[in-house]
Amino acid sequence: ELRGGSWVVVDPTINEEKMEMYADPDSRGGILEPAGITEVKFRLPDQLKLMHRIDPQLQMLDSELEACEFDDDNHNLLDQIKEREEVLKPIYLQAATEFADLHDKTGRMKAKGVIKSAVAWEDSREFFYYRAKRRMFEDNYIDQLKAASKAMTR
């Protein structure tokens, strides 16, 4: 699990030709925890705006509020709207947190090009043995080609 500044330490752009990034399928790699991302990216005003855009009951209450002519009815509708928003808040927060959590997983890291692939922990020793062996063979072969012809570059 990498968070925050840890990414700087293992940044593959530092030595792109030699550095490869892999992750366990169950690993996480977001800068913040999903709950933290939700707090920062999906603040309460945004949640309320989304609720009023999506929820049919809130849409109905909003249209009634616009058509309302009396202050007493207006206060009653505002109370109903606040009550409905309070009911929906935990649901929207949970959905947003789940959405943020999906962006924190290996599939998203691979899609964004942060990792080369996912390697299960139980297969990692064999995988990295053969990967290192292949990379050393490739580097040795490239060195031999370069030695044969000085005009060649990687």
pTM of model > 0.85: no
Q: Length of the chain in residues, anyone?
A: 154
Pair 99, 125 in one domain: no
Pair 92, 138 in one domain: no
- Rounded CA-CA distance 5/37 in Å is 16
Q: How confident is the model at residue 2 (pLDDT cuts 50, 70, 90)?
A: low
Domain count of the chain? 2
Q: Give a yes or no: residue 141 inside a domain.
A: yes
Tens digits of per-residue pLDDT, 114-136?
Answer: 889 999 999 999 999 999 999 99
How many Å from the N-terminal Cα to the C-terminal Cα in the chain?
A: 33
Pair 76, 144 in one domain: no
Q: Looking at the DSSP assignment, which residues form a beta bridge with residue 28?
A: 105
Residue that has been written with the tokens 């309320």 in this structure: 48
CA dihedral 37, 40, 36, 28 (to 10 degrees): 20
- Rounded CA-CA distance 154/151 in Å is 10
Pair 116, 129 in one domain: no
In terms of residue numbers, what domain contains 144? Answer: 121-154
Pair 95, 55 in one domain: yes
- Give the DSSP H/E element, type plus range, for residue 117: strand 117-118
- Give the DSSP H/E element, type plus range, for residue 22: strand 22-23
Predicted local confidence at residue 79, as pLDDT:
92
Q: Give a yes or no: residue 1 inside a domain.
A: no
Q: Mean pLDDT of all residues in the chain? A: 87
